[in-house]
Amino acid sequence: MGYPVSDLVGRVEAPPIAEAMSWVRQGPRNRDLINLCQAVPSYPPAPELQQEFGRIALQPGTGGYTDIYGLALLRESYANHLGADYGAKVAPNHVAITTGCNQAFAAAVMAVAKAGDDVVIPVPYYFNHQMWLTMLGIGLNTIPAFAEGRSHPSVQDAEKAIGPRTKALILCTPNNPTGAVYPPEVIEAFFDLAKARGITLILDETYKDFRPDPAPAHGLFQRSDWNDTLIHLYSFSKVYALAGYRLGAMTAGPSILSEAAKILDCMTICPPQITQQGVIFALRELDQWKRGKLDMMAGRLAAIRTAFARKGLDYKLISSGAYFAYVRHPFRGEASKAVAMRLAQEHDVLCLPGSMFGPAQEDYLRIAFANVDAAIMEPLVDRLIATQP
């Protein structure tokens, strides 16, 4: 007899990134792998931040616990950061620092829904969102994340998808996997719908810093009623190249944060103190470094858009932005996983199949273009053209 396995966990597919990495052929190769699989900055943290981590590590007490919600100074610093980004006043007691944004999502969902409830979520979706919801026994009412001539989900579709057990609407913008940046009016319309129906809007803005428009992404934090409907999620991983340091944030009304605290305490007790102290430094000292990296990423986005405009390329760029490009491959009727495996094993291009991002996505691939230099985009297209039927 084997171990008994939870039915809910057992129905979830294996972690997608680990599976995709297993496709890469081992041994010598004639050319470098173009790794467009996992969204990880291709550069290290700022040298000043690395030095600061070294200094912090030697301080007494660095290895100890902090408050469940994180260090008070970081909560205040991040609240000020949000306020500056959104032209609003955000109070520190609305902020919980988390061990990565995935934990923030997990806590947000557990705080508002239980097994047998459901949420409305656009598809394609971020696969870790789907995995967590499924493991909790929470249903997914899916709506299209894009359509012909539209790169964002429709609030009308969302309204039709809300049922008697729906507890939340979930949005991710800039989107993973499509890269689309949702217009402010769309985000605000989803908020209005959630508020009118007495449910929660969970808004994942992990990639908000990589938007091309410096104007606020939306006006929700300027509204006096935001904190009884909105749960806002963020990650410090991308903008400061801290993926392995694991730090995110959850911003919501104090009443829901008090429920989330129970979940956060059971998961990790508190976020890692060394990372929290480092991010306090980053928020204070690294604006210029951050601006340079954002400009670099904008250059990579422009480069992949230019490369995919090449005549004779049958892979079509459906949507792009922030870290991602969502591409329609030319092998209609073939499973997207088979296409992605062939690209990895025969053409040294590693990306993810659309099937990892939800139903009806077999025609697509996700490319995490921010992983590679702008100069790689033309060689990438060369390899894609070589695969075409």
DSSP string, 145-209: S-BTTB-S--HHHHHHH--TTEEEEEEESS-TTT-----HHHHHHHHHHHHHTT-EEEEE-TTGG
- Is 37 part of any domain? yes
Handedness of CA 97, 98, 102, 104 (dihedral sign): negative
User: Which residues lie below 8 Å from residue 287, measured CB to CB, with a gap of 6+?
Assistant: none
C-beta of residue 337 within 8 angstroms of C-beta of residue 1: no
Whether 242 and 313 map to the same domain: the answer is no
CATH, residue 324? 3.90.1150.10
- Residue by residue, DSSP assigns 275-287 as HHHHHHHHHHH-H
- Token pair for 382: 């060369």
At residue 31, the pLDDT reads: 86
CATH, residue 186? 3.40.640.10
Whether 96 and 228 map to the same domain: the answer is yes
Provide the residue range defining the domain that includes 35: 7-44+289-387
Is the peptide bond prior to 16 cis by the omega test (within 30 degrees of 0)? no
Whether 163 and 268 map to the same domain: the answer is yes
Final residue of a structural domain among 256, 285, 314 = 285
pLDDT grade, residue 30 (50/70/90)? confident
In the block, residue with structure tokens 């004779």: 312
Whether 271 and 297 map to the same domain: the answer is no
At residue 256, the pLDDT reads: 97
- Is 53 part of any domain? no
Final residue of a structural domain among 285, 307, 334 = 285
Whether 84 and 179 map to the same domain: the answer is yes
Whether 214 and 273 map to the same domain: the answer is yes
Domain count, the chain: 2
Whether 117 and 35 map to the same domain: the answer is no
- Is 52 part of any domain? no
Task: Name the phi and psi angles at 104, rounded to 5.
Answer: -60, -45
- Token pair for 17: 């990134």
- Is 361 part of any domain? yes
Residue 230: which H helix or E strand, with range? strand 230-235
- Token pair for 59: 């301080």
Q: What is the pLDDT of residues 166-181, one digit of tens each?
A: 999 999 999 999 999 9
Q: What is the pLDDT of residues 54-67, one digit of tens each?
A: 999 999 999 999 99
In the beta sheet, which residues pair with residue 365?
A: 327, 353
At residue 29, the pLDDT reads: 72
- Residue by residue, DSSP assigns 123-150 as ES--HHHHHHHHHTT-EEEEEES-BTTB
Whether 151 and 229 map to the same domain: the answer is yes
Q: What is the pTM of this model?
A: 0.96
Whether 76 and 202 map to the same domain: the answer is yes
- Is 129 part of any domain? yes
Whether 348 and 208 map to the same domain: the answer is no
Instruction: Supply the angle between the helices 47-57 and 273-285 in degrees, to the nearest 10.
Output: 140
pLDDT at 26 over 90: no
Rg over alpha carbons for the chain, rounded to the nearest Å, is: 21
Q: Comparing C-alpha atoms, which of 212, 206, 136 is closest to residue 167? A: 136
Whether 216 and 115 map to the same domain: the answer is yes
Final residue of a structural domain among 259, 285, 311 = 285
Q: What is the pLDDT of residues 111-143, one digit of tens each?
A: 999 999 999 999 999 999 999 999 999 999 999
